[in-house]
Structure 1
Amino acid sequence: MSYQPNRRRHSQSPGTGRWPRMDGEVEFDEYVLACVFSRALEEIDAGEATATEATGLSRAELRDILTSRFPARLASAFSLEEVSDPALGMEEELLRGMLLAHARAGDMTSARFAKIIARRALRDDHLWRDLGLSDQAELSRLLATHFPKLASGNTQNMRWKKYLYRKLCEAEGFSLCTATSCRECNDFNDCFGPEEGKSRLERTKDGIE
């Protein structure tokens, strides 16, 4: 069973680089959560993770979100009575702590997205894909909305996962890179530029067709 969010309402206008058009911030948050939950259900169905392991949220947090924002059939698909709260490794704890420190003060939704992003960043694909989003612009919107100060520092369009880990290493007093400048680095294309490719939904559709 999977839950597919309505992407058409949130897609970018062709040929523009502007934010996806939104009816409101709350609606965008719910859209992102739906995308994340769709990816989580894929991993649950494949036996790769439980609901809490896929999202980084506790059982209580998941139950609160699912029962207050989504259809009852989606909540039942997560089988929350059978799962335990997620265990955190050191890498995830550090990344979560940095995101929480930059989350909007007193905003529970921002705090929950910090946990989700920290968990999904441990996956191997582009971060926007592992969140189930349609493109990099949607991830940029999410980060700018809930972690504005942190997001505003990415002034050179560094890929978001690279940027987050670089900021984490800076905060911990480490350096990821020894190049004198980004422009002189052999790995420049791996850190900067568009994160191209199809979303998981598009790839699944292509496979079906």
Structure 2
Amino acid sequence: MSGQSHEGIIWKTGVTRRARRPYRPDRLPHAKSSGAGQWPSIDPAVRFDEHVLACVLSRALEEIDAGEATATQATGLSRADLRDVLTDRFPHVPISSFALEEATDLEPEMEEHLLRDLLLGQARPGDPASARFAKIIARRAMRDDHLWEDLGLFNRAELSRLLATHFPTLAAGNTNNMKWKKYLYRMLCQAEGFSICTAPSCRQCSDFESCFGSEEDESCLARIRNDIGLN
């Protein structure tokens, strides 16, 4: 992964700003190996998970700052889950930025609950990270944009990687490259024994682009950087 960029969060007055900086494994806060005295190898999957969490938390902070949601409403995680994520993955981030004292642990509404159960049933067995992402994805899917944008990711490819990593069987079923949010809802409908689509086949559907059209819009992160550059 040498030479790749690493996503960082700059905290200033409670609002996130994103900056790209070179990926430097030698500067990561890992303990040294007790044997050879060398830095241990960094698991790329762990680093990617942290990148996704950073994106989600950044979107959550934007909504908190705008008064649109609390931390638990924005992420789908409980206060205890959020504290664990911040303490374990982002120890230098002030927990107070998320105003957890103003948040409550709410039960998901029926639509979100069904989607969460679908994802949990397809998550990697015994993997707390997969279970956590099931909750996050189900909550963020309630937003109105493409799912990768709902999560604050850079592009659709990152969402595909996230789903393939933590929900491999579910992700592998999207053989026709359907939009991920559409695909998840189709799987949900099939699991419940009905269909939201009345077309005899996708190719004969008059709304084909709605399910299979491009998702490569400008990311939320790019818009933020462009706004900063103009100010």
Taking structure 1 as the reference length, the TM-score comes to 0.89
Structure 1 CA distance, aligned partners of 2:119 and 2:169?
11
The aligned residue for residue 93 of structure 1 is: 113
Per the alignment, residue 2 of structure 1 pairs with 15
Show the 5 A alignment for 1:14-29: 24-29=44-49
Which structure is higher in RCO with an 8 Å CA cutoff and minimum separation 6?
1
The answer to whether the 8 Å contact 2:122/2:170 transfers is: yes
Residue type at the aligned position of 2:178 = M
Deviation at 1:178, TM superposition (A): 1.1
Deviations 1:49-98 (A, max 9, x none): 00000000001100001011104434220121231113310001000000
Partner Cα separation in structure 2 for residue 9 and residue 155 of structure 1: 35
Tell me the CA shift for residue 174 of structure 1: 1.1
- Structure 2 distance, partners of 1:59, 1:200, is 26
- The aligned runs of 1:2-81 (5 Å cut-off) are 2-4=15-17, 24-81=44-101
Name whichever structure is richer in helix by fraction.
1
Amino acid corresponding to residue 2 of structure 1 in structure 2: V
Aligned AA (1:178) = T
Q: Does structure 1 residue 128 correspond to structure 2 residue 148?
A: yes
After superposition, the CA RMSD in angstroms is 1.8
Counterpart of 2:225? 205
The one-letter code of the counterpart of 1:143 is L
Find 1:193's aligned residue among 213, 218, 221: 213
Q: CA 1:9 to 1:126, structure 2 compared with 1: closer, same or farther past 3 Å?
A: farther
Q: Distance in 2 between matches of 1:181 and 1:125?
A: 25
Distance 2:197 2:90 in 1: 43
Q: Is the 8 A contact 1:3 1:74 kept in 2?
A: no
Report deviation, 1:201. Answer: 1.4
Secondary structure (helix, strand or coil) at the match of 1:134 reads coil
Q: Which residue of structure 2 aligns with residue 111 of structure 1?
A: 131
The answer for the alignment partner of 2:199 in structure 1 is 179
Query: Comparing both structures, which one devotes a greater share of its residues to strand?
Result: 2
Shift of 1:6: 5.7
| Structure 2 segments unaligned to the other structure (5+ residues) | 1-13, 24-41
Percent same amino acid at aligned positions? 67
Matched positions, count: 198
| Displacement of 1:113 | 0.1
* CA shift in 2, pair 1:8/1:144, >3 Å: farther
CA contact 1:3–1:37 (8 Å) conserved in 2: no
1:143-162 C-alpha deviation (Å, 9 max, x unpaired): 00000000000000100000
Distance 2:195 2:21 in 1: 41
